[in-house]
Amino acid sequence: MPPSDTPTGQPVEPPHEPTPAFIASRKTRRYVAPFFIALFLSLLGAIALVHLVLTIEEKQTWTPLSRSDALLSEPTASSQWAPHPRSYAIPPKAIASSDMLKEERTEEIERQRAVKARHEEAAELASPEYAMRVMASQKREEERLAKQKAIDEENEKMKSNREEEERFKRREAVDNGVKDMAGRIYCAIPKGNFQMGSLQEKDAPPRTVNVEAFYIAQTEVTYKEWKTISDWAREHGYQIENEGQGLSPWHPVTKVSCFDAMRWCNAKSEQEGLTPCYYLGETFEKRAVFGKGVGMVSHLNVKPDANGYQLPTEEQWEKAARGGLVDQLYPNGNTLRKEDANFENTGTTQVMTHTPNGYGLYDMAGNVWEWCWNARNDESQEEPKSILRGGGWELNTSGCRVSFKFAAEPNTKTDDRGFRLVRRFEPSPQK
């Protein structure tokens, strides 16, 4: 086609032929561009896939209940946040959200329970059956109070009568008693049967024992008494070398053996013109008086008709300790108070410090253990066991029970052992 003129009047040049380089570049652009587009799309797909995997893992790690279910349902093991088998760190926000949901759920449950309880209570109060139950309960309470008042009045009356009876027995025991040369009172214990032991004691079941009337000292032998008689005894041929021990002249003497106490009893009897009780052998001659004579202690005997001082037998001691009470654990009843006895302490107390029992006797529980005399015929033992009763200052209440006892060698002496004297009852005693 021949060239034509342009609107400007310039001639138009014919098109050039494409060169090989131009053709090659066009081919390159045609293939490279789709490649990069495909690569870009692949990267986007990979990122989306990773995000999806992480989201699924996160959902599997925590599986909370819906808010409505969490608030209205009871907490169970399956409704808690279930850990994934794999170990992943829990985000702090998830922990805080879980704690808040638990608190809200607990508060809501408690609120619903309180509302339900109030509704039930209101319904019950409004029912006639409830009113009848209330009236019946009030009537039962009034009857119980009236019955308890009658029981209390009867107990108070019995207590008053018992206290009056005990005061009478105490006055009678003291008034019918005797005094020694030092002015010490020996209370009179009446003859007759009594229940030895107690139903409350496993090791001391009750049994009926008959005891003749006798006199028993109001108190344990004091250190002052011990020193006075011991000094006299040594001057009159008695072999009493033990000085004993006492925290003061009016505390009970301690650290005396059973044999020391028996020698001392003979010396006191002789000093007051009475017949000594303990002899070595069965002849009861003056030369066989225990403490002066020589012989085997296994042949130690009590002269039946002697009117001197001696240790109480177990039966005499327990009858005197009970003070006229029956089947009680302690001299003043089934309880032992600090004003009744010296126990759980660090040492002895003065005699006549605590409350006397029904016979006017002091310290039949606590203060010091008291030696008792029990005849033993077993000659195979040169030194048979002796019995101690009453408990000592270091023991608890269990060790101060009236029926409690233990055996010890009669020649042993400790700082919690003493003794108390008895005398044979005489119809017309010398005052």
Return the pLDDT at 81. 47
Neighbours of 360 (CB within 10 A): 22
Q: Helices 258-271 and 223-235, interaxial angle, to 10°?
A: 70
| Residue 177 near residue 186 (C-beta atoms within 8 A) | yes
Write down the mean pLDDT value for the chain: 81
In DSSP terms, which residues pair with 388 in a beta bridge? 371, 406
- Of residues 200 and 389, which shows the higher confidence score? 389
Return the pLDDT at 78. 45
378 pLDDT above the threshold of 90: no
Return the pLDDT at 59. 60
Average pLDDT over residues 115-126: 78
Environment class of residue 79 by beta-carbon count within 10 Å: exposed (0-12), middle (13-18) or buried (19+)?
A: middle
6 pLDDT above the threshold of 50: no
Q: What is the pLDDT of residues 183-195, one digit of tens each?
A: 899 999 999 999 9
Domains and CATH numbers, the chain: 184-424 (3.90.1580.10)
pTM of the entire predicted model? 0.61
Q: What is the pLDDT of residues 210-224, one digit of tens each?
A: 999 999 999 999 999
Q: What is the pLDDT of residues 128-161, one digit of tens each?
A: 777 788 788 888 888 889 888 888 888 887 777 7
Token pair 């005396």 in the structure block, residue = 256
260 pLDDT above the threshold of 60: yes
Residue 286 DSSP one-character state: G
Average pLDDT over residues 396-409: 92
Look at strands 417-418 and 369-372 and give their pairing.
parallel
* 148: CB partners within 8 A, 6+ apart: none
Using pLDDT thresholds of 50, 70 and 90, give the confidence band for residue 124. confident
Return the pLDDT at 229. 95
